[in-house]
């Protein structure tokens, strides 16, 4: 199954503000949509459980599937985070990767990497990102999203 979820976009949506539906331009930067169960804009196959939310981790550890909640709809315009966030700038990551064979390291973890070049792999190395499990735990404890599954990477394509 392929499921495409937009993030870092602005989109017109109808949301409740002060108990009334209003047409708003919602800009999600560092966020993705997380509509609750039974929301009419959630794709029909998932409407009974809520908007599927894909939270990528890094290319060496794991990612998560979550679903949106009523609280997210009320408190965050139906939004949640869309990833772990960087711990290191791209420049710092490339510098830290010098002398390492990241492709072989990923291979040892069972992850196949296809990339346009080593610079793009270096800037995305696992240590460049926060641990997504910690981020997902925070949004779940806050009631913004609910965990469904943890995924292990098998392949990475970086252009």
Q: How far is CA 63 from the centre of its chain?
A: 8
As to burial, measured by CB atoms within 10 angstroms (0-12 exposed, 13-18 middle, 19+ buried), residue 81 is: buried
Distance CA 64, CA 147 (A): 7
| Chain mean position to CA 152 | 14
User: How does pLDDT run across 1-35, given as a tens digit for each residue?
Assistant: 667 777 788 999 998 888 899 999 999 988 889 99
* Rounded (5°) CA angle 86-26-150: 45
Q: Which residues are CB-neighbours of 19 under 8 A, at least 6 positions away?
A: none
Annotated catalytic residue within 39, 82, 91, 109: 82
**82 counts as catalytic:** yes
Domain ranges of the chain: 7-158
Q: What is the pLDDT of residues 45-94, one digit of tens each?
A: 999 999 999 998 999 999 999 999 999 888 999 999 888 899 999 999 99
pTM > 0.85: yes or no: yes
């Amino acid at each position: 199954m392929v499921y495409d979820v937009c993030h870092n976009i602005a989109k017109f949506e109808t949301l409740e503000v002060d108990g009334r539906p209003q047409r708003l331009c919602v800009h999600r930067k560092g966020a993705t949509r997380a509509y609750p169960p039974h929301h009419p804009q959630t794709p029909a196959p998932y409407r009974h459980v809520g908007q599927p939310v894909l939270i990528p981790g890094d290319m060496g550890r794991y990612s998560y599937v979550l679903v949106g909640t009523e609280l997210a709809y009320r408190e965050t315009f139906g939004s949640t985070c869309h990833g772990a966030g960087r711990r290191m700038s791209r420049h710092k990551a490339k510098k830290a990767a010098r002398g390492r064979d990241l492709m072989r390291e990923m291979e040892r973890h069972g992850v196949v990497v296809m990339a346009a070049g080593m610079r793009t792999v270096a800037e995305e190395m696992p240590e460049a990102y926060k641990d997504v499990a910690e981020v997902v735990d925070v949004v779940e404890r806050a009631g913004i999203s609910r965990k469904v599954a943890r995924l292990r990477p098998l392949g990475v394509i970086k252009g």
